[in-house]
Chains A and B, each alone.
Chain A
Amino acid sequence: MLNFLQPWADHFPVLLVLIPLLGGVLAPIFGRGSRGWAWAVLTTGCATIIAIEMLLVVRSGGAISYPLGGWPAPFGIELRVDLLSAIVALVVTSVGWIVTIHSRRSVQVEIPRDRLGPFWSVWLLAITGLLGIIVTGDAFNMYVLLEISALTIYGLIAMGRSRDRKALVSAFNYLILGSIGASFILIAIGLLYAHTGTLNMSDLHQRLQASDGGATVMTARAFLLVGLSLKMALFPLHFWMPAAYSTAPSAVASLLSATATKVGIYMAMRFLYTVLPTEGGALTDPNVWLLGGCAGAAIFYGSIQASRQPSLSLLLAYSSVAQVGYIVLGLAVGHIDAMTGSILHLMFHALMKGGLFLCAGIFIYRLGSNDFTQLAGIGRRMPWTSAAVVLGGLGMIGVPGTSGFISKLHLLRGLLLADHPILAMLVLLGSAMAAIYTWKFVEIAYLKPVAEDAEEIREVPFDMLWPVWLLIGSSIWLGLNPAPVVELAADAARALLGGGG
């Protein structure tokens, strides 16, 4: 551990949320104009360091509990960081940091200069909300932080309007759907509180496990499933996502695709396995079928739609619909290997899709849009960016040597061991379909001739390229050296399914 952090080691969970919060609150003061970007990089960088240290602490010493205000749980609010939350926190902070570093130029182009202070403030507050959701051990506190992340994300998406007026519509649609999702979650938390008299997650779990449940808990579960599905964009409640991600400012699309839906999935894991009652650590059959069915349909539908889209942003967004399907599939089945695959895919997909959306943003930065008609022959004109897209696409397919292979391998093994051969078939089918949409880009970028009237364009500067290659490169590197990460994810999965660890 870094020495100067030692005295603060006990406070890591709260510091992880406080740093971006203070960064966001101070951004309008310190981050006016072009300084805002440096301020955001500094803030997210500090948060990343805390997240790394926190993961090390949890890895060696087990879950951390932090009593806010010095009040013991369940009376006060408890922050609780176990291996899963530490992993997701590290994914959110590190990818958030890299995306922030990348975004200086694209934000300068896409956001009016006099709004840069508020923009970076809202950006940091969105990250605050996501991190707060991850570290909290209190159901209502999770809802409060969900409000912060949701509100700020609506604002961020709407800022895409200077490039595409449709951003306002897609942000408004997301605002309505997101608010419905959030109020469903709140209704569920209210019902659970009325049934148990507590809001602390582990206390809730104990008391729910001991009670007979009945209509109240069943209704709470139904409302939670609908609300969370909206938040994580699980088919058939995904429809806000492609519009939102393709019209948002390109930096925002990268940040959201890598972090926001992931946090939605994290919330689902938390609520389904560590708050709501389980049957010996597993979901009951109707739940498995419902979630598994939606996830399977998501893989199929998302992959088909992805190969029919007219622009790279939309292709990537529909591919995300499919990828959410993979993660939820492993989550639903509840087998240890499948859950490991889920957690691995959550990490790897954040790296790959974050990097891919950065590439989509780079095309927008250079060409004004990333419609496929514009991208003809782009492979020769912007070789580094195009190569990164191809490598990221290989990861989406799950080609051996990429990290996507590792996560899908675990997912497949888990599905087969849990006796779900049909769902396992769907995973393979989805991978084949990912090959189709990746090939679509290869064909356009490398095999089509450059349009004759196309303007002369160059590759983007190095400071936009290296964050992309860091994300894509690390996803490849983790595919070649998977052992430590797989072990980490397996431990997290074991802890989540109640096997200790």
Chain B
Amino acid sequence: MDPVLLLDVLLLILAVLAAVAAMLQRDLLGSVMLMGIYSLLMAVIWANLFAMDVSFTEASVGAGAATVLLLMALTRIGTRERSGGDHSLPALVLVVLTGVVLLYGTSELPRFGDPQAPAQLHIAPRYLAQDIGKVSDSATPQDSPHGEGDFGHHVPNTVTAVLASYRGYDTMFETAVIFSAGMCLLLLLRPIPRRSPETVTIDESGSTSHQKSESVVLRTIGGMLIPYILVFGFYVQMHGEIGPGGGFQAGVLVAAAFILHSLLFGRAATDRWLPRWLVDLAMSLGVLLYAGTGVACMAMGGHFLDYSALDRVHPAEAEALGMTLVEAGVGLTVASVVLTIVRKVQGGTR
């Protein structure tokens, strides 16, 4: 039997087990940990399917950021599930039936990786060849200095080409979804004081006194890690067109560096480095940078997000300039929203 297939089946079984265990687990801390494990397993599955960008995002957002956020939420609500335990039989029947319908629906789908699948034949080949070309009335100069291809072979990572250019409008709204999530949180969460330590069984925020004893080791090692995390974040941000990565993953990484800083040195110290008003502003600025790039393309005679219209600004590399700008917008919004959510969920210690 194909060893890769065997691995896939094993991973899938583990993922299902982790998901079911997370649901049955009565201790919320355990539930969150199992969800983290589930995400990590999914990240490995994506990698096994050669979806490296998805895998990277799942690992950084699903297993990383989401787990940290849920843990922080637990510091506010406690880890005991108060009610529950009533498993409704009709609901189970309904879910199983839905699953059966879904299995039926996928039964006629082409096999994974089938070169004759419609998804491989219709649009994808042109994405891979990057020879689509703009619409006839676009602002592209006819004698494109890029050389051949949509991006002059400067974007070997096709995922990024689709994400930031071919379907850049979707990505703008994905960024807006992140922004909306941050705004909803600012709208809904009241700055209630954190609960007294008796009801808090875990404490991730690190600014309370009882963690001081370990703090020498943690501060030294953690403090050394922060610059590396930041550099890696910037690398992922700038390198998305060549390898897996881009604004979403980079934003989470940069946010992680600051979260680590605030866990180790307290929030007051982080606020000195990164004032709160700046984080609030950056949430809006990221989406603004993305949409503004599109508007600039319109003002220069192209369609919205038609980066080739930026030719006047940066002649040979207009597409690259546009993609860099929008990716920076994504990174800015993602990093600042994650930081805001963490800050908001941590609650007021001061």
- A interface residue numbers (CB < 8 A to B): 11, 14, 18, 21-22, 24-26, 28-29, 66-72, 74-77, 115, 118-119, 121-122, 125, 128, 132, 140-141, 144-145, 147-148, 151-152, 154-155, 158-159, 187, 191, 193-198, 207, 214-216, 218-220, 222-223
Contact = CB atoms under 8 A, between A and B. Distances in A.
B127 interface: yes
Given A25-B287, A119-B187, A132 B173 contact: yes
Contacts of B288: 22, 25-26
Contact of B109 (A118, A119, A216): A216
Given A25-B288, A68-B168, A194-B119, 13 more contacts: A21-B291, A25-B287, A29-B281, A67-B135, A68-B306, A72-B132, A118-B184, A122-B187, A141-B167, A155-B184, A197-B118, A207-B122, A214-B108
Interface of B: 101-102, 104-110, 117-124, 126-127, 132-135, 138-140, 165-170, 173-174, 176-177, 179-181, 183-184, 186-188, 280-281, 283-284, 287-288, 291, 294-295, 298, 302-309
21 contacts: A25-B288, A28-B186, A68-B304, A70-B140, A70-B302, A76-B132, A77-B167, A118-B187, A140-B170, A141-B170, A141-B173, A148-B176, A151-B184, A155-B187, A191-B106, A191-B109, A194-B117, A195-B109, A207-B118, A216-B105, A219-B105
A21 B106 CA distance: 37
Contacts of A132: 173
Given A68-B303, A197-B119, A77 B176 contact: no
A76 B166 contact: yes
Contact of B135 (A24, A29, A72, A193): A72
Nearest to B281: A29
Contacts of A119: 187
Q: Is the interface of A mostly helix, strand, loop or mixed?
A: helix
Contacts of B308: 70
B166 A154 contact: no
A441 to B, nearest CB: 33
B304 A191 contact: no
Contacts of B187: 115, 118-119, 122, 155, 159
A22 B292 CA distance: 9
A118 B177 contact: no
A231 B277 CA distance: 37
A152 B180 CA distance: 6
Contact of A28 (B166, B183, B184): B183
A155 B118 contact: no
A69 B168 contact: yes
Nearest to B104: A215
Contacts of A121: 183
Contact of B183 (A14, A122, A147, A222): A122
A400 to B, nearest CB: 44
Contact of B177 (A22, A147, A207, A220): A147
